[in-house]
Structure 1
Amino acid sequence: MAIRRTLLRLAVIGLMPMLLAGCWSRLEVNDRLFVSVMYVDAGADEGEVKLTLGFALPNRMTSIQQGIAGGGGNPYGTMSNTGPSIAVAFRRIQANIPRQINWGHTRVVVIGDKLARQGIRPVLEFITRQPAMQLKGFIFIAQGEAHRLSMVTPIMERFPSEILRELAAQKSIMNTTARDLLMSEPFEGDGLIGRISVDEVRLISEKGKKGLTLNNIGTGILRNEKLVGYLSASEQRGAMWVKDQMENALVTIQSPTDGQSIDLYVNQASTRIKLKQEGERVRIRISVRATDDVYSSNSALDFQDPQQIRQIQQALNEQLKERIERALERSQQLGADYFQFGSYMEWYLPSLWKQWKMDWRRHYEEDVIFEVVPEAKVARTGAIRSSYWKPITPEEGKEQR
């Protein structure tokens, strides 16, 4: 028995060094090329797809880290190819690259609007087939061709794709991931995707040379996984309130006393959605709460007067309600449930959902009533009672004389 235990211990000790063998992968890190962004466009010929991959250039990244001027070139590059499918275009790119392409660092996917109108299903299909591709990567629609975004001058980031990723992470633009779109498939494949344009401007950081910059121009509307319309920037704000994505936002209202502008910073926001069946119809109640700080003011309004603060809150609530209702109205007009209210129906009213599921679009347009209940509060008004430049009235001027 003692001999057995001794042999077992020796066997365990003998196997332990195998755990120290390190990585068993046959492909070294320096033989890989990590893609950070994927641009997908419709090709010049019908049924053709153009794929553009953006990635860091390892040789130039090393030069930058060591403080060596690498000839003034960008630390990133792109490669493009076309094919009858994304997979074929990808293999054609791989055939011309000495490193193995890896999708583990892909955080951004941009789709051209022409291809989006044809349908984004091939893009989602390709993403789900790549084991290393992360479903939490952000997806955007580009005005025009998506690959033009790769030519943007990244002033504050090292790569153009980082600008998009940070905008989505900060919720400055509609935050839509591949997971969100895949989860919408059981509910007719409707959804919202942030829309980006590219403009040419003169850049001070580049010594006055012209360069391309990104602009948030609203949101693309998907119906059956196809682009069917757009939300404007203000309508996008309403949609972001419904989707509980409104953070660190600035809201401008007109002063209820003199009509001048007051800027309010939203530092806390939350949205709750409840459903209630009323006969043969369903009421969807959207309750929005927001805590705001006065950011700046062109109004002579007295911020220490509780009555005037209540007037500001009322004006803010009216604006929030109007924006949210416009986004909801647009949804019903297109028959696109891009807020996935169908999932709420399935959860809260399962028996009714079974009846409506096969004809959900018609019921959504005709039998759903929305009720928007905003509740915004002004928490902080700043250190001064009213604007320091508050004009002197004629009566006050006479008194001073």
Structure 2
Amino acid sequence: MSLVFLAFGAVLLLSGCTFKDIDKRAFITSIGVDQSEMPDKTYKVMVKVAIPNGDPKTPKSEFLILSANSDSISEGLNLMKSQIDKELVYGHSSTIVIGEKLAKKNIQPLLEFFVRRPDIQMTSYLSVAKPNAYEVLNFKPIQEQVSGGVLKSYFDFSRTESPYIDQICLFDAYRRETEDGVSIVMPIIESNKKELLVDKIALFDKNKLIMELNPNESETYRLLTTGIYNESLKVKNKNTMFVMNLEKGKAKYKLKDQNKNIIVNYTIKVRAVIEEKVDGLEMIREGDITALNKQMEEKINAETSALLNKIKDKDIDPIGFGLRYLSRNSENRNLSFWNKKYSSLTFKIKSEVKIKGTGLIN
């Protein structure tokens, strides 16, 4: 009996070392990694710490940027513990930003670390930062209720739908890094100190940034992958410029073996409405709509073919043609076989454009 009382007394004397009050915690909303400016260090690791606002009625975003130069990400995060009197909590972090210089070298160690770290969400959004991750993290919008919320809003399609942004989460980036037949793709966030601009896409191989797509190419890439909604396209018919509202655009493709070559047959369907007539007051006739349909199809075919061949020439495969071929071809599931075939891939594009009308006027 005395042993029972002794054990019970020992339990009462134990301190709650695993529990910390909320005012003893610092919540990380974003993580950034740049190439270190110190020649003897590899990384400059940064975290964006949200500072609570005492008045919930007043939207106000205050934050603190902690940084450390180190040879590894884990060392950098540990060094930052000495820069603040609170426990760093990563469970609320929703974005991971990688500096452009570092992205052009090797991002494999970064993906490996963040995937292994249990307190970092696998659904965190990844992006490339220009000119660097610090400038993007340090950007303060005019109005933001939660520090770091503006970065998440760019990639959360329940809040915004941009034809230039291709979101990617940590789990998907790691899958693309380890899976045969598909390569990594990330959006680019550019800071000019006055605003953030997200209208370009970065294409990687398995470890480094290979090429950047301009806004028009980024829009075409989105059309070929996830589709686009409510986007504008300019088409000139005779002497008149028309602006089309692409209400919906979707694409699908099939791989076909033909004469020892592989052909990618793309079918693109676009539904549009004439939104603006830039010059001229003439009425839009049925013949004009037919001609515009054909012009839009030719424009889409040309831009799609140019982008696909440009990507193929860089020997990267962000769309995942190789993954589909290897998964559905029972005879040749060898990656080296596919790599030889990929360089001679042929694209056949067929677009179907349907202009529904001219808006509210005829």
- After TM superposition, the score normalised by the length of structure 2 is 0.85
* TM alignment of 1:76-115, pairs within 5 A: 76-115=63-102
Q: Which of 295, 302, 305 is matched with 1:315 structurally?
A: 295
Which protein has the larger Cα radius of gyration, Structure 1 or Structure 2? 1
| Greater displacement, 34-43 / 167-176 | 167-176
Question: CA–CA distance in 1 between the matches of 2:283 and 2:249?
Answer: 22
Runs of 4+ deviating beyond 4 Å = 301-304
Corresponding residue SS for 1:118: coil
Question: CA–CA distance in 1 between the matches of 2:282 and 2:175?
Answer: 48
**Deviation readout 1:161-204 (Å, 9 max, x if unpaired):** 4333222233421222222211212226622211222224xxxx
Question: CA–CA distance in 2 between the matches of 1:303 and 1:125?
Answer: 60
* TM alignment of 1:150-299, pairs within 5 A: 150-158=137-145, 161-168=148-155, 169=157, 170-172=160-162, 173-184=165-176, 185-187=178-180, 190-200=183-193, 212-254=194-236, 256-260=237-241, 262-299=242-279
Contact in 2 for aligned 1:238/1:325 (Cα 8 Å): no
Q: Give the equivalent residue in structure 2 for 1:397.
A: none
Question: CA–CA distance in 2 between the matches of 1:157 and 1:314?
Answer: 45
Q: Structure 1 residue 346: deviation in Å?
A: 2.1
Contact in 2 for aligned 1:175/1:245 (Cα 8 Å): no
Identity in percent: 18
Going from structure 1 to structure 2, the CA distance change for 1:158 and 1:253 (only over 3 Å counts) comes to farther
Q: Which amino acid aligns with 2:130?
A: Q
Contact in 1 for aligned 2:227/2:248 (Cα 8 Å): no
Q: Structure 1 residue 102: deviation in Å?
A: 2.1
- Alignment length (residue pairs): 340
Q: Structure 1 residue 55: deviation in Å?
A: 2.6
* TM alignment of 1:52-63, pairs within 5 A: 52-58=46-52, 61-63=53-55
Going from structure 1 to structure 2, the CA distance change for 1:160 and 1:130 (only over 3 Å counts) comes to same
**Deviation readout 1:304-328 (Å, 9 max, x if unpaired):** 5222112222222222222222221
Q: Give the equivalent residue in structure 2 for 1:384.
A: 361
Contact in 2 for aligned 1:303/1:309 (Cα 8 Å): no
- Indicate yes or no: 2:342 matched with 1:364: yes
Contact in 2 for aligned 1:289/1:374 (Cα 8 Å): yes
Contact in 2 for aligned 1:236/1:327 (Cα 8 Å): no
Corresponding residue SS for 2:195: strand
Corresponding residue SS for 2:244: strand
Q: Structure 1 residue 298: deviation in Å?
A: 0.8
Q: Structure 1 residue 295: deviation in Å?
A: 2.5
Question: Which structure shows the higher helix fraction?
Answer: 1
Contact in 1 for aligned 2:293/2:354 (Cα 8 Å): yes
**Deviation readout 1:136-163 (Å, 9 max, x if unpaired):** 2221111221111123231343457433
**Deviation readout 1:323-364 (Å, 9 max, x if unpaired):** 222221111111011211111112332323x14x12533321
Q: Which amino acid aligns with 1:370?
A: F
- Indicate yes or no: 2:316 matched with 1:336: yes
Contact in 2 for aligned 1:195/1:219 (Cα 8 Å): yes
Q: Give the equivalent residue in structure 2 for 1:133.
A: 120
- Indicate yes or no: 2:337 matched with 1:350: no
Structure 1 alignment gaps of length 5 or more: 1-23, 201-211, 386-401
Q: Which amino acid aligns with 2:276?
A: S
Contact in 2 for aligned 1:235/1:326 (Cα 8 Å): no
Q: Which of 45, 52, 73 is matched with 1:51 structurally?
A: 45
Going from structure 1 to structure 2, the CA distance change for 1:132 and 1:228 (only over 3 Å counts) comes to same
Q: Which of 102, 111, 119 is matched with 1:124 structurally?
A: 111
Corresponding residue SS for 1:95: helix
Question: CA–CA distance in 2 between the matches of 1:157 and 1:264?
Answer: 33
